[in-house]
């Protein structure tokens, strides 16, 4: 279990000014609001908009939002993963006979695509990027009704979209069931519209299937999780068809790999990634670097 911790935000230098920012388990979006409000007061600016302009000259709003989030320190998600869950996951991944590979409906070496969402896409993408058999992991938005949404719009909670990761994987190494079982083990599927301190429909647990075969597997995995009691509470993961996947802005791709020491990455993404590496040590790729 990852125990929630309380941290005092780092001292951040903004144009030569130091400001001590304290974050006691606030969300990523809440951190953004606190940062802009505090900087506005400290620097004697008129409003948060002027603070953004001053600190992020030449950047898009999405880049500003992401950049200022680097100063946020949030609680680590508290998930109680039961022994039954670990037995379920490891039994599937490591219980095969020597030489036996995952079932692949498309044949050996054929790339398949899975789309899942479980909170901040920085976390999910960072984990799948290090998994053996994964060809690419792309952060994006899906499941909503607004075409070509921006990060700002999705954070506004009115687009219907979730932050998701589209995983392209080698079906001769991983099966779709493998992908889903690992996905279920690296986020909390029991909290509706929430992951840790990140709250909103964009952070919901969701599996977006590409065809009826994927839907059947997703339904089976979810049913197994609830029937077997692998989580302390019932999993509420949404299973829905993928209509359109919108790739997120470039600033969000490989975010952890490019910003490992950023506040959110240090205190939220890194602990989850370390736990992932510990649990799936035998399934990590030899070369842990994917092309952005």
Inter-axis angle of helices 176-185 and 121-128, to 10 degrees? 130
The SS3 call for residue 92 is: helix
Strand partners, 164: 140
**Which residues does the annotation mark as catalytic?**
120
Alpha helices in 167-261 (DSSP H): 176-185, 212-227, 255-258
Quote the tokens at residue 187. Answer: 């986020």
Q: Which helix (H) or strand (E) holds 225?
A: helix 212-227
Quote the tokens at residue 112. Answer: 């398949």
Number of other CB atoms surrounding residue 263 within 10 Å: 24
The SS3 call for residue 171 is: coil
CB 217 within 8 A of CB 176: yes
Distance separating alpha carbons of residues 142 and 144, to the nearest angstrom = 6
The SS3 call for residue 29 is: helix
Quote the tokens at residue 277. Answer: 């590496």
Cα distance from N-terminal residue to C-terminal residue, the chain: 31
């Amino acid at each position: 279990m990852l125990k929630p911790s309380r941290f005092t935000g780092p001292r951040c230098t903004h144009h030569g000014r130091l400001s001590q920012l304290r974050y006691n388990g606030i969300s990523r979006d809440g951190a953004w609001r606190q940062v802009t409000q505090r900087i506005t007061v400290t620097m004697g600016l008129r409003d948060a908009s002027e603070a953004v302009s001053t600190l992020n000259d030449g950047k898009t709003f999405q880049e500003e939002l992401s950049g200022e989030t680097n100063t946020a320190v949030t609680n680590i998600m508290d998930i109680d993963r039961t022994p039954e869950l670990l037995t379920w996951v490891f039994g599937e991944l490591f219980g095969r006979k020597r030489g036996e590979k995952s079932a692949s409906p498309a044949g050996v070496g054929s790339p398949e695509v899975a789309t899942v969402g479980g909170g901040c896409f920085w976390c999910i993408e960072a984990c799948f990027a290090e998994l053996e058999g994964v060809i690419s992991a792309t952060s994006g938005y899906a499941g909503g009704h607004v075409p070509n949404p921006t990060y700002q719009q999705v954070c506004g909670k009115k687009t219907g979209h979730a932050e998701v990761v589209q995983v392209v994987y080698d079906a001769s190494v991983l099966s779709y069931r493998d992908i889903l079982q690992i996905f279920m083990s690296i986020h909390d599927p029991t909290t509706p519209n929430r992951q840790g301190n990140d709250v909103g429909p964009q952070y919901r647990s969701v599996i977006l299937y590409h065809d009826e075969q994927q839907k059947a597997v997703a339904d089976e995995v979810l049913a197994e999780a609830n029937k077997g009691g692998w989580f302390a509470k019932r999993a509420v993961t949404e299973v829905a068809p993928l209509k359109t996947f919108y790739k997120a802005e470039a600033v969000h791709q490989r975010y952890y790999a490019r910003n490992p020491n950023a506040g959110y990455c240090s205190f939220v993404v890194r602990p989850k990634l370390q736990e992932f590496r510990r649990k799936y040590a035998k399934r990590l790729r030899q070369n842990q670097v994917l092309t952005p």
